[in-house]
Amino acid sequence: MNHTIFKEIDKPESNCGVFGIYNHPEASLMAYYGLFSMQHRGQEAAGITSFFYDEAKQKMKYANHRGPGLISEVFSNPAIFNNVLKGTAAIAHNRYSTTGSTVKTNIQPFNMIYKSGIMSLAHNGNLTNTIELRNKLLEDGTIFQTTTDSEIFMHLIAHSKKTTQLEQIIEALNIARGAFSLCILTNDSLIGARDPLGIRPLSIGKLSTPTGDSYVLASESCAFDIIGAEYIRTVEHNEIVVIDQDTVKTGEIKSYKINPVTPDKCKNCIFEYVYFARPDSKIFGENVDKVRRKLGKNLAAESPVIKDDDDKVNVVPVPDSSNTATLGYATENDRLNYPSKFELGLIRNHYVGRSFISPGQDAREIKVKTKINTVKGIMNGKHITIVDDSIVRGTTSKLLVKMIREAEPKSLDMRVTSPPVKFPCHYGMDFPSKEELIANHYENEVEIGKAIKVDSLKYLSIEKLIDSVPKGENIDYCTACFTGEYPIPIEDNSDKYSTES
């Protein structure tokens, strides 16, 4: 019997998570925990590389373990941390493939031994000039081992005529264009870098160990919490930070620029706040929880749910990514004198992982039902407003509405804490094509609401989305999936690049 395998409900797939640690006696184990806390950023594969000093050979070496699957599956043998992944510095990566396939060679970190020593690299983001760079490198005789854009960094660094590893990295990052947050291990340092517009997040943390302070880099600060590290700051856009033995001695994190001229404003990915990042994380220097509550609050102020009887409205999040914003929505709606209550009317099954669908079953319906179920007592005979962070294809929303209608609510409205998603992402998030996005099939939200079969549907406006996120002299946002205004030109469909047919 043929079965179809499926993974996620109808959301853009998150890109990847990166982690790096320097000067820790159990570096690879800390990297494992860091990856564990960022499992939501990629579930297809994971890897850790550690650097250690080989006394016998009197030189630095690297050890690596990578594999497909969840962190717990890839690192199921604890002996690997002591016996293989030795050393006091490590970087790690969990992967959702936005370019290239899931073949083992594509799993990061990527490692190399080259003229200047050893290097390992983990990348979150997508380049926008991959094809141009790859063709140039191929003409120069480069042999590629993978089908990902991330490998290009390694070749650009290896081809550089500069003397030091830091200079080689800076040169390579000036040639690459697009979105990149990187963790790199060199012979003697841990390096973190964010592209000139700082699209993807990367933060710095610190923890004390018996051998002095240890420094950590991670896509999200939830990776610091799990290992007891304190958050220090975000890596700025266009910044390269170098953590080495001097840093351990003096506490100074060396900082360099990628491009000599830093753009006035960064372009942080606004969707990280809306959906991707964990609510208990800090990204781009701000707590995600705080922003999500404001998204919900602003949505209630813009589009409250008003009923003409005295019954309270049960405001129900689509779990789990909408939980925090829904709290904001329910509180504000109630404060505006439209009696409302936050209710957990949809329950998510966290233990599904990948499931199979028998031929003949409605694939989409069973997919949603294995993940989410309704709490009938909360729905039956009540005013229900479901709050979601985004609608992509609309397939899950339609099925959820069908499930809730079976519980016979008095009314059923929907609110979305972001504007309609109309454009794909070229900077490292895997969105469906433009044609597949439900917002491109209908004139307006009234029509989309009718298609989803809710009594009313309201999205957050782009103005209120911007109002919800942190402001600052140098801070701006990429909003391209809502507005089509791409801050970095898409040169050659690089994000869809793959050598496979």
Question: Which residues are tagged catalytic?
Answer: 16
Q: Give 198 or 304: the residue with its C-beta nearer to ligand SF4.
A: 198
SS3 state at 288: helix
Q: Based on CB atoms, which residue is closest to ligand SF4, 399 or 481?
A: 481
Nearer to ligand SF4, 81 or 423 (CB): 423
Residues 6+ apart with CB under 8 A from 285: 203, 233, 234, 470
CA distance linking residue 387 with residue 493, whole number of Å: 34
Nearest approach in angstroms of CB 9 to ligand SF4 is 17
Query: Which helix (H) or strand (E) covers residue 133, if one does?
Result: helix 130-139
**Structure tokens that stand for 100 in this block:** 């290239």
- The CB-of-467 to ligand SF4 minimum distance in angstroms stands at 16
Specify the residue, 92 or 270, whose C-beta has the smaller distance to ligand SF4. Answer: 270
Shortest Å distance, C-beta 437 to ligand SF4: 12
Cβ-based nearer residue to ligand SF4, 413 or 495: 495
User: How does DSSP assign 333-361, residue by residue?
Assistant: HHHTTS-EEE---EEE-TT--SEEE-TTS
CA distance 449 to 426: 28
State how far the Cα of 412 lies from the Cα of 403, in Å rounded to an integer.
Answer: 11
Residue 226 is encoded by which pair of tokens?
Answer: 């799990």
Structure tokens at 307: 């009923």
Residue pointed to by tokens 């406006």: 461
DSSP 23: S
Classify strands 355-357 and 372-374 as parallel, antiparallel or unpaired: unpaired
| CA 147/CA 301 separation, integer angstroms | 47
Smallest distance from ligand SF4 to CB 444, Å: 21
CB 93 within 8 A of CB 151: no
By C-beta, is 226 or 490 nearer to ligand SF4? 490
Least distance CB 12 / ligand SF4 (angstroms):
7
Q: Which residue is nearest to ligand SF4 (CB)?
A: 425
**Tokens found for residue 345:** 């009317």
**C-alpha 147 chain-centroid distance:** 21
Tell me the sheet residues that pair with 378: none
Q: Which two tokens stand for residue 304?
A: 């409250």
Q: What gap in Å lies between CA 324 and CA 435, rounded to an integer?
A: 30
- What are the residues facing 161 on neighbouring strands? none
CB of 21 to ligand SF4, least distance (A): 27
Q: Which of 316, 425 has the CB closer to ligand SF4?
A: 425
Q: How far is the CB of 37 from ligand SF4 (least distance, A)?
A: 21
Q: What is the DSSP track for 191-221?
A: EEEE-TT--S--EEEEEEETTEEEEEEESST
Instruction: Select 9 or 412, whichever has its Cβ closest to ligand SF4.
Output: 9
Residues near ligand SF4 (CB under 6 A) are 199, 269-271, 425, 427, 429, 478-481
For 386, the 3-state DSSP assignment is strand
- Largest Cα–Cα distance of the chain, in whole Å? 81
Burial grade of 127 (CB within 10 A; 0-12, 13-18, 19 or more): buried
CB nearer to ligand SF4: pick between 216 and 425: 425
- Least Å from the CB of residue 392 to ligand SF4: 11
Rounded to the nearest whole angstrom, what is the least distance from the CB of residue 375 to ligand SF4 in the complex? 31
Strand partners, 66: 47
